[in-house]
Every structure is written in C-alpha cells, then in structure tokens.
Structure 1
Amino acid sequence: MDDSFFTVVSDFRHFMKFNKCLRNDEFDKSYLNSIYLKRSDVLRWCQSEFLLPPPIWQITNLDSPKLEEQIEDLDDDKDNWYDNLSSRRKQRIACLEIAKQLWKENPELTYKEVHSHPAMTRYGYGKSFTFDTFKKWARPYASEYAKQGGSKQ
C-alpha cells in the first residue's frame, strides 16, 4: 500500500478491517479468507514484529513439531556459513547467547548487570557494544524482570 490519495480512498474499507485485526485483536475469519496471503509470510511478519499469529493460524496440535523445527534452515547445508559471517556479527551472536544463558540462570539480572557481567567482560563482549545497543538487541531475550525496568536499568 502506498500513500497516494487514490490508494487511501479505494482501500479505505480494507485498511479499516485490517487495522481492526491488528489493533483490536479481532480477527474476522471470512475477511482474512477473502484476501490472499501466504501463511508463511504472515507468520514470518508476526515473528519479526514480536506478535502472536492470528489464533486461526496458530499451531494447535502440541504433539506436532514446533514451527521452527518445520522450517528447514538451508544455511546448514552450505559449507563455511560461519566463516561467511562478519566478525561483528559473530561477536553479536556470542554476546546474545551469553546474555540468554545468564538470564536463564538468573532471571532477576538487569540489562546493566548482564552487560557488565564478568562472563561478558571476560570474553570481551561487554565493551564491544554500547549499553544502549546491547539493550536493543537483547530485548527479545531478556527476562521479564529486566524488561520491567527501574532505577537499576
């Protein structure tokens, strides 16, 4: 959808219905069935926006493999995929993995405590990235306690 006047006028009804789905969590199954969307694109979009997929598209069978397990990671088949990463990306991945482990072991750690944790500084990641950058990257993996904020954050 672009911002042209014609598009806004012609797609206003669609825009309102779609907005109702997004903002009010009211999913009209017949409306969603009337538009063409690839389920995988919607699920990928929901994941990137940290949203739950519409209830009618959620996986309900708990015995079935998880969505992440169903999607093949084709990079695994490529040789040297790790070597093709920039050193900055390797550092970022390692930093986030250490942070995830620290929050798993102690969910009551704040962002600052994780960023300045001896494990981070020992391996050089505490100083590789600014606190604000670390906080932005780590937000999806942080404990609820850290996300709540406070004077120590």
Structure 2
Amino acid sequence: MFLDNKEEFQTVWQLAHNWTGANQDETDTVEISHELKITIHRLLHAMVCQEISARTRKRRILEDNSNITFILDIYHNYKFFQCLRKNEFDKAYLDNLYVKRNEVIKWCAHVIYLDPPPCWAPKKPLSAERSLAETMEIEDEDKGWYEKLTDLRRKKVASLELAKMLWEKDENQSYEQIRNHPIMKQYGNPSVFTPDAFQSWAKEYASDYARKGGRRKKSKE
C-alpha cells in the first residue's frame, strides 16, 4: 500500500518520535514526555485546522467542515478531543493516522516556521536567501478533483460514503434499510439512486448480511 512508503508517509506516532529523537518502543503513553506531547498535539491541531491532511489505512478524514464529514468522522473527532483536551495518547490510533511528506514540509516552512523532522529534512543546507519551499520541489496534491465532479456525482459520492459508515455501525441492515435510513435521508441523497442502482453502486461497501438478501447466517447447533 502506498502509505507504507515511509519516504512519503509516516504515522503521527512515528513522525513525532522521529522529530523529537524519542524511541517508539520505550515511550510510556501514561507518562509521555513534554516534547513528544507538544509535537503530537501540534500535528493533530494542524489536521483539525486542515493545514495538513489526515489519513487512515481506509481513507482521508477531516477533509472539510461539512455536516456529512462531521458525521462520517464522529469517531475521529472523539479521538482527537481525547488527545488534545484530555492528554490521552492512544498509541494504536496515532500509529494508524498518516501525514504526507510534502504537506508537512510546506507546513513547517509557511505555517509553524520550524525545521522539518530529520527523516524529511532537505539533503542540502538551505540558502539563507531562499525559503524551504523555494529550495525543495514540493508536489501538490490535486485539490481540484472535487470541483470537477458534477453535482449528481457529488451527491452519489456523499451517499455511498454515508452508506459505508452506516453498515460499519450496524452490519445487519439491508440495502433498502440503508437507503431509507433516517440519517441517509437527512444528510445523504438517496433519491439520486433507484433501489436497483443503489444496490449496484453500494455493493462494494455493503455488509455480508445485505449482500445475502438480509438473511442471517444459520447458527450451528
């Protein structure tokens, strides 16, 4: 998976340790060092403010401030709150939250004005007359893909993402139940699909229960 390329991506847990020179295997999450705590908080705050993007192994999170994103990311909002406000550092969660090299470097140069972490530092000394962004070739992510979508496609994308979340919360729901779910009706756009079309488009995200026509597995006696 592309996230495994440590030259381009690292988890918050990995990068914070690299940045502070701490040993990942020796960190006690109950008695975490002040320097490491500040670094993790700094990265999470940048994600919340959308200064750098956040990714899990499944998808990008916290992409915008819309209601649909808030609902899809309820779990992540809770985990961020626990860390930023209550200083609860969940190693397993932070080690599944990825940041991208070029975004972190640009953020260091133009937002927080700090040297980047050693693993992503420039290989040549920076000129005093040139900024970090001018010295390095930084590739931007294509942020215009969403604007290129038609209104109909945007509604379909939102509906499918919401369907995926609803199945993750309760897998014992049929296609029709998901399509007519109150949350789907309020925040999604189920009317853009006919029942058959919804089943076809949502099949990739559907639970086994839905794919088998709503029939529960028979228990072995």
Q: Which range, TM-score by smaller chain?
A: 0.3 to 0.5
The TM-score with structure 2 as length reference comes to: 0.34
- Structure having the larger proportion of residues in helix: 1
The TM-score with structure 1 as length reference comes to: 0.48
- Structure having the larger proportion of residues in strand: 2
Q: Identify which of structures 1 and 2 has the higher relative contact order when contacts are C-alpha pairs closer than 8 Å and 6+ apart.
A: 2
